[in-house]
Amino acid sequence: MSNMMNQNLNQQFKNKNISIVFGCGGNRDEIKRPKMGQIANQFCNKIYLTDDNPRNENPKKIRSHIKRKINQSKLYEIASRGKAIKEAINNLHTGEILLVAGKGHENIQDYGTSKKFFSDRKCILNQIKKKNKNLSKKQKGSNSRRKAKLQLAKLHIKIANQRKDYFHKLANFLAKNYDNIFIEDLNIKAMQMMWGRKISDLAFSEFVNILEYKANVTKIDRFYPSSKTCSNCGYVLKELNLKIREWSCPSCNAKHQRDVNASINIHRVGASTLAGEVVRATFVA
């Protein structure tokens, strides 16, 4: 969490109540803890103080450092990160913003000697599911339904932002490590119509937009049969069911792992479109 982030939120959502769930990591930056508490106190109306990778420190001690500069009336101290998130979502009112800070896309809570699985994202999504169930029980057109809907919209916004952060990090990594990146220009809209939102969540096209901005991206024609073409001999299958992950070429007997084979083809076609440039194949497992 940073000062910038909260200031940003305040500018984006003027006069909105902001709740925050956060904690500070153990074994680092002890001096920053009360400062972070102070910033949260300045910008947020409800502060759910919890644990965030305590590592080898006593989590209670970490929280006591943070809360020195937090107004008692705003403070909810809940050691369990999962319970803190649930409580924060339950207490959220119409139009309020909830900021779950710290973990982003990490999947671990680090207690020094033990590491436990924990994902902010999963926890938030579970809570949204519960709220969705409540919502479907509420009468259509009713006031309480409208309110519940608004709350959900806010929760969705926060997850979208987390995803964007992750996309930027991933795009930076790829841009730094690869001179050229070849991707299939997948027809996301068509894919959604066929398989529903799960397949992409439109996230892939959002990611491609970010990636194109930062790296040399060459898009391959969406109608090129990258999966169905044998990367060894060029034979093209008539059909390849999505469920089939491995196949053997009927022409040359080469054994293929579906995605690896497709990536070899995409690389080959992409490289051939970059006239005059030397392109070296790099494979990421």
Q: Cβ(29)–Cβ(55) under 8 Å?
A: no
Q: Can you tell me which of 233, 236, 244, 260 binds Zn ion, judged by CB under 5 A?
A: 233
Residue 235 makes contact with Zn ion by CB under 5 A = yes
Residue 204 makes contact with Zn ion by CB under 5 A = no
Q: Which residues pair with 46 in a beta bridge?
A: 19
Closest to Zn ion by CB, 157 or 252:
252
Residue 257 makes contact with Zn ion by CB under 5 A = no
Checking phi first, is residue 114 left (phi over 0); if not, alpha (psi -120 to 50) or beta? beta
Instruction: Note the Cα 99 to chain centre separation in Å.
Output: 14
* Site size with Zn ion, rule: CB under 5 A: 8
Site for Zn ion in 32-91 (CB under 5 A): none
What are the angstrom distances between the C-alpha of 113 and each of 26, 56, 101, 116? 13, 7, 24, 10
Q: How far apart are CA 47 and CA 6, in angstroms?
A: 13
Output the smallest distance, CB 227 to Zn ion, in A.
Answer: 13
Total length of the chain: 285
List alpha helices for 77-178, DSSP H: 81-90, 120-137, 143-177
Residue 252 makes contact with Zn ion by CB under 5 A = yes
Closest to Zn ion by CB, 60 or 245:
245
| Stretch binding Zn ion (CB under 5 A), from 47-55, 167-175, 211-219, 251-259 | 251-259
Kindly calculate the radius of gyration of the chain based on its CA atoms and give it in whole angstroms. Answer: 24
Closest to Zn ion by CB, 170 or 237:
237
Output the smallest distance, CB 251 to Zn ion, in A.
Answer: 5
Residue 268 makes contact with Zn ion by CB under 5 A = no
Q: Can you tell me which of 20, 84, 98, 249 binds Zn ion, judged by CB under 5 A?
A: 249
- The residue ranges that bind Zn ion (CB under 5 A) are 230, 232-233, 235, 249, 251-252, 254
